[in-house]
Amino acid sequence: ETGVTQSPTHLIKTRGQQVTLRCSSQSGHNTVSWYQQALGQGPQFIFQYYREEENGRGNFPPRFSGLQFPNYSSELNVNALELDDSALYLCASSSGDTDTQYFGPGTRLTVL
C-alpha cells in the first residue's frame, strides 16, 4: 500500500448537490494531484496542489475546486453535481523533487 488515504470510500448524491472528498498524502509528500476516472477510461487530471497553492489545472470547470492544508492533506469540492460527474476520484501524492505519484484507493461517486 502507498500510505495515501481517501474518504469516503463511496458516496451517492443527487444532481445539483455539492460534495467534498478528502485525501491524506503519504508522509513526506507535499504535492497532491486529483484525477477523475470514468468507467473504462484512464484517469483525467483535475488539478494539483503544491504547498497549499493550486499548481496547475486540467480541463475541468470552476465548479471543481480544491484546498490543501498545512499538513498537506487535501480536499476536492464539486458544486452543482451533474450525472456525468459519476466516477472514481483518485488523489495521488508526490514529493516536490520527483515525478513519481502514488495513488490513494479512490472515492466512488455516484450522481443520481
65 binds another protein (CB under 8 A): no
Which of 43/76 has CB closer to another protein? 43
Q: Which stretch binds another protein (CB under 8 A): 15-23, 32-40, 61-69, 79-87?
A: 32-40
Q: One-letter amino acid identity for 83?
A: L
Residue 37, beta-bridge partner list:
88
Instruction: Find the shortest distance in angstroms from Cβ 109 to another protein.
Output: 14
User: Number of helices (H) and strands (E), helices first, in the chain?
Assistant: 0, 11
Applying CB under 8 A, among 13, 45, 60, 86 the residue interacting with another protein is 45
Residue 10, beta-bridge partner list:
108
Which of 80/109 has CB closer to another protein? 109
Q: Which one, of 104, 97, 78, 85, lies nearest residue 30 by Cα? A: 97
Q: Which one, of 8, 45, 47, 42, lies nearest residue 24 by Cα? A: 8
For the chain, the first-to-last Cα distance in angstroms comes to: 32
Instruction: Find the shortest distance in angstroms from Cβ 99 to another protein.
Output: 4
Rule CB under 8 A: which residues touch another protein?
2, 31, 33, 35, 40-45, 48, 50, 55-56, 58, 90, 92, 94, 96, 98-106
